Amino acid sequence: QITLKESGPTLVKPTQTLTLTCTFSGFSLNTRGVGVGWIRQPPGKALEWLALIYWDDDKRYSPSLKSRLTISKDTSKNQVVLTMTNMDPVDTATYYCAHRSLEVDAFHYWGQGTLVTVAS
């Protein structure tokens, strides 16, 4: 079955760069149409899509955050990495990675999420 799990720091300081890793199993990021995305949710607030990487290494970013985000993949390790630069307290959120399939352009499988707090 498909599983995803996020890992990374729980606390970062303002202006630092956040690096999160999504480790997945049950699918291959070499399969046509497959993608892995990142979504975040500040405490008590709505979901916000951040970035997605496709099987062919095509990358998509949220326009409002594009200048701060980089997404990459390591198919040999079944991992997707998201970096976000210049972190600010407003970036405090639970960060999720999620699977996007060829057949359904939606996020069906999600990781458990990881809470990242930005504070000095």
Partner 1 sequence: DIQMTQSPSSLSASVGDGVTITCRASQNVAIYLNWYQQKPGKVPRLLIYDASRLQSGVPSRFSGSGSGTDFTLTISSLQPEDFATYYCQQSYSLWTFGQGTKVEVK
Q: Which residues bind partner 1 (CB under 8 A)?
A: 37, 39, 46-49, 52, 60, 62-64, 96, 104-108, 110-113
CB 79: neighbour CB atoms within 10 A?
17
Q: Give me 84's structure tokens.
A: 């976000």
- Measured from the CB atom, is 32 or 106 closer to partner 1? 106
Minimum separation from the CB atom of position 14 to partner 1 (A): 26
- Measured from the CB atom, is 4 or 12 closer to partner 1? 4
Residue 79, SS3 per DSSP: strand
- Measured from the CB atom, is 32 or 120 closer to partner 1? 32
Minimum separation from the CB atom of position 73 to partner 1 (A): 18
Q: Give me 85's structure tokens.
A: 């630069």
Minimum separation from the CB atom of position 76 to partner 1 (A): 27
Q: Sort 119 into a burial class: Cβ within 10 Å, 0-12 / 13-18 / 19+.
A: exposed
Minimum separation from the CB atom of position 56 to partner 1 (A): 17
Q: Give me 64's structure tokens.
A: 């409002």
| Number of separate helices (H) and strands (E) present in the chain | 0, 11
* CA 36, chain centre distance (Å): 7
- Measured from the CB atom, is 81 or 96 closer to partner 1? 96
